[in-house]
Chains A and B, each alone.
Chain A
């Protein structure tokens, strides 16, 4: 029944297209978009989540197609960056030759650095979906656009919000311990925090770096016991974050707050489901959606219906693709230069991220910001800023 109806619909559409050609010349059959993520290798989980988000976005866009181009649909060219810059670059070459109009990807900062550069040689617009390293948008590449925040913004917002929360509670917290993973994002974030927190009046007692993967966190937790910081700030990936927090629970280490900055599991529904006790009360400063926007919650339902967790990779990449679709809509063309110009001038506001109207400066969306969330009563709730607040923050967790 559905097939027949859609067949009829398509036949009518085809017939009318033939009967009423658009004035002004031929329209493109479908616009190819490259979707590039590390879906195999060490980053496979995140890469696959990103891809899912992208595909859902493409489906949504294709419900109406690009209206300004007569309903032209987006066609996807999937690429696997295999968790290395070399593979990512090779895929960009393929996407360029396949005449992709633009690329969305590539999740990991190290890969994004290589792919944006490779794409720049062909003036291929590249929307960065996650990649938080600030260097990505600091090289003056005209084809690179990052919709979400970089780690400097995240760290700064986290710090000022920590100060606000602490001051409002009567300044119970003074000492800080930072635990970070050893590669690009963790080290960069930790360096920033260690440098700036003293300026806010906090005493950074210790900065601990750990490997990816780390098999055991008992030592780190022992140091935590010895140092006894008021606040523990973790910045790492999911597996290590989960192990760390579980170990803290086992060793009965309970600081006044676990305050994550880009914490791998801190605002993760997966972690919440698997370790509700360990997750309780954790604060995160991370990519998050506008909790008051129904569309974000609808996407959550759709994602969970596929037995996937609604993680930041999903909604970040989803909105990155929507941003691109909007730019193509404005550009009224599948031409790369036109799309790049449209992105640069974009004021895209029809999204459910807490960024407000888009405004790109040197490839960075200036309105991009992370949100502060806290696990309260078994759910992840936004606590700061006020306009997105869902629950009152609990700070400190204990006196």
Chain B
């Protein structure tokens, strides 16, 4: 195991982890505020990926330029879904929310199957196969861009949550729902906004992910477990935690794969998951127990 390979593997893990972080950012917000485990997160990512795909193939819009379209669009989708479907169907019970998000996931996945059939689709851009050389390592350009995109998204979210009124309302509801309600905060609206922002993150994630990956109706499911691991590792509700957790998990996955083989190497992720759950459930940066 020479240094070159190790270095390349770590860098690779960081860039992959950045994409995971983008997916996890939305999930951690949704979990942190609404306290629901969003079964539909993977399906929503898939919807976003198809959105980016469609924008490129039908309108010729480059994925990165599609950000200003995808992010608001996914936000609206999230808001509507939460306010119109999830909130209404759940009657406030956690187990019902589970079922509703599960049902939504099934519906979304199969609507995509109906609309796009099941074949895998990729987009072709000028930079898809370009690589950037960093020392002895070649990193695909889209992944480098994704890395910085994740940093940017995290910064934006942190600003939103700490500096804006909405952000304050979100934090209030997350910490103490009843108290927030008594203070006059429209909890339902905050819930829907949070869900919307969570899905908006997926919109951004999709823009960064598609150039380096592909889309088909089942693509979301491959990210869900990893995203959950990161949310728990970073601390539910913490953006910085999701970012760092994502990077860490990316590196663990990469090195695990290098040393234990790609199949067994996945175990590193879940070993960490279990260890964190048992010994430090608040995660690296978690605020709530």
Direct contact of A and B (CB under 8 A): yes
Chain A positions within 8 Å of B, measured between CB atoms, are 40-42, 44-45, 48, 182, 208-211, 213-216, 218-220, 222-223, 225-226, 238-239, 242-243, 246, 249-252, 270, 274, 277, 309
- B258 near A223 with CB under 8 A, answer yes
Q: Does B178 contact A (CB under 8 A)?
A: no
Closest beta carbon of chain B to A236's beta carbon, Å: 11
- A220 near B262 with CB under 8 A, answer yes
- In the complex, what distance in Å separates the CA atom of A163 from the CA atom of B48? 47
- B129 near A218 with CB under 8 A, answer no
Q: Does B16 contact A (CB under 8 A)?
A: yes
Interface centre among A40, A208, A219 (most CB of B within 10 A): A219
Closest beta carbon of chain B to A168's beta carbon, Å: 33
Stretch in B26-34, B216-224, B240-248, B278-286 with 4+ CB within 8 Å of A: B216-224
- The 20 listed contacts between A and B (C-beta, < 8 Å) are A41-B218, A44-B117, A44-B118, A48-B117, A48-B118, A209-B263, A210-B263, A215-B16, A215-B223, A219-B258, A219-B262, A220-B257, A220-B262, A223-B5, A223-B258, A239-B214, A242-B122, A250-B131, A250-B140, A274-B122
Q: Please indicate the chain A residues that have their CB under 8 angstroms from the CB of B120 in the complex.
A: 45, 238-239, 242
- In the complex, what distance in Å separates the CA atom of A218 from the CA atom of B263? 14
- B214 near A210 with CB under 8 A, answer no
Task: Give which listed residue, A215, A223, A274, contacts B213 with CB less than 8 A.
Answer: A215
With known contacts A44-B113, A250-B138, A211–B213 Cβ distance under 8 A = no
Q: Does B87 contact A (CB under 8 A)?
A: no
- A211 near B124 with CB under 8 A, answer no
Q: Please indicate the chain B residues that have their CB under 8 angstroms from the CB of A182 in the complex.
A: 263
Q: Does B82 contact A (CB under 8 A)?
A: no
Q: Does B90 contact A (CB under 8 A)?
A: no
- In the complex, what distance in Å separates the CA atom of A220 from the CA atom of B117? 30
With known contacts A210-B263, A249-B129, A222–B258 Cβ distance under 8 A = yes
- A239 near B257 with CB under 8 A, answer no
Q: Please indicate the chain A residues that have their CB under 8 angstroms from the CB of B8 in the complex.
A: 218, 222
From residue 109 to 127 of chain B, which have CB atoms closer than 8 A to chain A?
Answer: 110, 113, 117-120, 122, 124
- A210 near B138 with CB under 8 A, answer no
Closest beta carbon of chain A to B141's beta carbon, Å: 9
Q: Please indicate the chain A residues that have their CB under 8 angstroms from the CB of B222 in the complex.
A: 213, 215
Q: Please indicate the chain B residues that have their CB under 8 angstroms from the CB of A40 in the complex.
A: 110, 113
Chain B positions within 8 Å of A, measured between CB atoms, are 1-2, 5, 8-9, 12, 16, 110, 113, 117-120, 122, 124, 129, 131, 138, 140, 213-214, 216-219, 222-223, 254, 257-258, 261-263, 265-266
Q: Which residue of B lies closest to A220 (CB)?
A: B262
- In the complex, what distance in Å separates the CA atom of A225 from the CA atom of B1? 11
Q: Please indicate the chain A residues that have their CB under 8 angstroms from the CB of B119 in the complex.
A: 45, 270, 309
- In the complex, what distance in Å separates the CA atom of A278 from the CA atom of B89? 48
Q: Please indicate the chain B residues that have their CB under 8 angstroms from the CB of A219 in the complex.
A: 9, 12, 254, 257-258, 262, 265
Q: Please indicate the chain B residues that have their CB under 8 angstroms from the CB of A213 in the complex.
A: 218-219, 222
Q: Please indicate the chain B residues that have their CB under 8 angstroms from the CB of A270 in the complex.
A: 119
- In the complex, what distance in Å separates the CA atom of A251 from the CA atom of B132? 10
Q: Please indicate the chain A residues that have their CB under 8 angstroms from the CB of B117 in the complex.
A: 44-45, 48
- A211 near B266 with CB under 8 A, answer yes
Starting from the known contacts A213-B219, A216-B254, 13 additional A-B residue pairs (CB-CB under 8 Å) come to A40-B110, A208-B261, A211-B262, A218-B8, A218-B16, A219-B257, A222-B8, A222-B258, A223-B5, A238-B120, A243-B214, A246-B129, A249-B129
- B216 near A218 with CB under 8 A, answer no
- In the complex, what distance in Å separates the CA atom of A209 from the CA atom of B265? 10
- A218 near B262 with CB under 8 A, answer no
- In the complex, what distance in Å separates the CA atom of A270 from the CA atom of B117? 15
Q: Which residue of A lies closest to B140 (CB)?
A: A250
- In the complex, what distance in Å separates the CA atom of A251 from the CA atom of B258? 16
Closest beta carbon of chain B to A287's beta carbon, Å: 18
Q: Please indicate the chain A residues that have their CB under 8 angstroms from the CB of B258 in the complex.
A: 219, 222-223
Task: Give which listed residue, B118, B217, B254, B262, contacts A210 with CB less than 8 A.
Answer: B262
Q: Please indicate the chain A residues that have their CB under 8 angstroms from the CB of B223 in the complex.
A: 215
Q: Please indicate the chain B residues that have their CB under 8 angstroms from the CB of A214 in the complex.
A: 262
- In the complex, what distance in Å separates the CA atom of A331 from the CA atom of B140? 59
